Structures are given as structure tokens and as C-alpha cells.
């Protein structure tokens, strides 16, 4: 049943999009503000982060334990689907990058520069001084968007069920706040992404340039310093086997290849999850 829920959720997200009503984050923002008002976060950031994340996660676990078997298990399936949709990443990377890709295809660097600046909250185009820098920053930002949209959620859902998927998304939301680093949310997010990212690297090796990806994967295997996005970008470039400094118009082709790489990796990951569930 876990696999069917995963496949259904991914299929809906890919072809129809995630229902916006199931990705509202205002309740979590309100919960965070309420905790901050109690002074717990400032007094003990680590404990505050644990309370912030674990109360909703444990509440979900209790809800599934209580209601999961109702209506022949249909209510439990509905709850799991709703949590999966919430835990998927926000937006659609393929749609968001379309204008940037089209600008590159027209060789319109200035327009591409402006499009790159809005691809993610960290403004990947803001610090770039030339085309190779812009290309590297956009590949990193777009790759991470593709990664966090599905892969960590699917991994933790498979291991820990809906509470695991919820934990990852709430940690991601907490890390995006200005207080995320102080609370330790960024470090926890890195830990939650470490194993899914390395497993994705193996998937890249199977669906992309095997030799180059495996060399990069070995270098990244025990990397405890680099952020997830940087490690992922190196794996993506190795899997694509692209020129380190492609031309501007080749950058448009690279965006298409990048999206196709993640799609193939997603299909392979679902197959591996099915095998894991059958064997476990």
C-alpha cells in the first residue's frame, strides 16, 4: 500500500500539480510564532527546534494510529496522501525555469540574468559576474529544486511513513527562516538530506554518465562540509557529462538535459522503492 500511495501522489503531482490547498504553510508559521512568543526558542534553541518539529510529527503519528484503520483503511490512505502532497516541494522547477531556458536559446543573456535572479530565494544570479558563474549558480539552484521536490520526501516516507515525510518538510521550512541557522535547522536539514542525496547520486550513475558520476559520488560520499546543493550540482554535472563552460545556447540544452536526468532518476527511484518494499 505504501508504494501505491507514493506512485499515485507522484503521478498527480507530475501531471496535474499538487493541490495548492494542501501546501499551505501558514499554520506552521503561526505555530513557530507562538513558540517564539513563549520564549523557549531564545532560551534553548535546540529544545525549541525539537518542540517545533516533533509536536506536529508526533501528533500525526498518533492521528494515524487512531484513525488509520477507519473505513477499511481508506481514511489512513487519505491522510497519507494529504501529508505527502504537503511534504512535496513547492512549485514546479520545470515551469519556473522555462523562461530562463528560452532566453538562453535566444542568446539573450540580459533577460536570462533577470530570470535567474528569481529562480530561488537565494538569488542565484545576483553574485554572478560572467556567464560561467551564472550557469554554475543556476544549475546548482535548479538542481536543488528538483531534488527537494520529491527525493528526500519519498525516502523518509518509505522508511518512517507520513511522519518521516512531514519531518523533512517542516525542517526545510524551518531552515528557510532567518532563525534557521541559530536553531540548528540548517544542520538538521543537511543530515536529513545526506543519505537521500547519496542514493540519488547512485541513481544518476545508472541513468547518466556512469564513470564520471561514480568518481564524483566517491568524493562526495563522506563529505561533511559542503552544503547539499553544492554536492548535488557536482553530481548533476558529472551525470550530464557536460562541458564545464558550455556556450549560452548550449545552456538551454543543458536545462532540458537536467530536467530529463531528474525524471529518469525519479522513475528509477520508484522502482527501487518497490523492490525495497517487496524485500523488506
CA 113 to chain centre: 24
Reading the chain (280 residues) residue by residue, the pLDDT tens digits are: 778 899 999 999 998 888 888 999 999 999 888 887 776 666 566 788 888 999 999 999 999 998 876 776 789 899 999 999 999 998 888 888 888 888 888 877 777 777 777 775 455 445 666 777 788 888 899 999 999 999 999 999 999 999 999 999 999 999 988 766 656 889 999 999 999 999 999 999 999 999 999 999 999 988 888 899 999 999 999 999 866 666 777 788 888 999 999 999 999 999 999 999 888 6
**What pLDDT is recorded for position 180?**
63
Dist. CA 41–CA 179, nearest whole Å: 9
Q: What is the model's pLDDT at position 242? A: 67
d(CA 215, CA 153): 26
Say what the pLDDT of residue 125 is: 46
Residue 147's Cα: distance from chain center in Å? 4
Q: Specify the pLDDT at position 124.
A: 47
CA-CA distance, 166 to 156, in Å (whole number)? Answer: 9
> How far, CA to CA in Å, does 42 sit from each of 149, 176, 177, 184?
31, 18, 15, 12
Positive or negative CA dihedral for 245, 247, 250, 254? positive
Task: Please provide the distance, in angstroms rounded to a whole number, between the alpha carbons at the two ends of the chain.
Answer: 14
Closest by CA position to 170, among listed 150, 185, 154, 151: 185
Rounded-to-integer distance, Cα 148 and Cα 82, Å: 18
Amino acid at each position: 500500500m505504501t508504494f501505491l500511495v507514493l506512485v499515485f501522489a507522484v503521478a498527480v503531482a507530475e501531471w496535474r500539480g499538487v493541490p495548492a490547498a494542501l501546501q499551505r504553510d501558514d499554520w506552521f508559521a503561526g505555530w513557530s510564532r507562538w513558540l517564539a512568543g513563549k520564549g523557549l526558542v531564545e532560551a534553548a534553541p535546540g529544545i525549541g527546534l525539537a518542540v517545533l518539529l516533533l509536536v506536529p510529527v508526533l501528533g500525526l503519528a498518533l492521528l494515524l494510529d487512531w484513525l488509520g484503520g477507519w473505513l477499511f483503511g481508506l481514511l489512513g490512505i487519505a491522510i497519507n496522501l494529504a501529508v505527502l502532497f504537503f511534504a512535496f516541494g513547492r512549485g514546479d522547477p520545470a515551469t519556473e525555469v522555462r523562461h530562463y531556458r528560452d532566453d538562453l536559446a535566444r542568446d539573450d543573456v540580459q533577460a536570462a540574468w533577470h530570470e535567474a535572479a528569481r529562480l530561488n530565494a537565494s538569488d542565484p544570479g545576483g553574485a554572478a559576474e560572467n556567464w560561467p558563474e551564472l550557469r554554475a549558480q543556476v544549475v546548482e539552484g535548479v538542481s536543488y529544486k528538483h531534488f527537494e521536490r520529491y527525493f528526500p520526501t519519498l525516502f523518509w516516507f518509505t522508511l518512517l511513513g507520513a511522519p518521516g515525510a512531514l519531518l523533512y518538510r517542516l525542517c526545510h521550512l524551518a531552515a528557510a527562516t532567518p532563525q534557521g541557522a541559530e536553531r540548528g535547522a540548517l544542520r538538521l536539514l543537511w543530515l536529513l538530506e545526506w543519505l537521500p542525496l547519496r542514493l540519488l547520486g547512485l541513481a544518476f550513475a545508472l541513468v547518466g554518465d556512469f564513470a564520471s558520476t561514480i568518481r564524483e559520488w566517491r568524493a562526495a560520499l563522506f563529505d561533511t562540509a559542503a552544503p547539499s546543493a553544492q554536492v548535488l550540482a557536482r553530481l548533476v554535472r558529472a551525470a550530464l557529462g557536460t562541458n564545464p563552460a558550455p556556450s549560452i545556447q548550449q545552456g538551454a540544452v543543458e536545462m532540458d538535459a537536467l530536467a530529463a536526468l531528474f525524471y529518469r532518476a525519479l522513475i528509477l527511484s520508484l522502482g527501487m522503492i518497490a523492490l525495497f518494499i517487496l524485500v523488506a
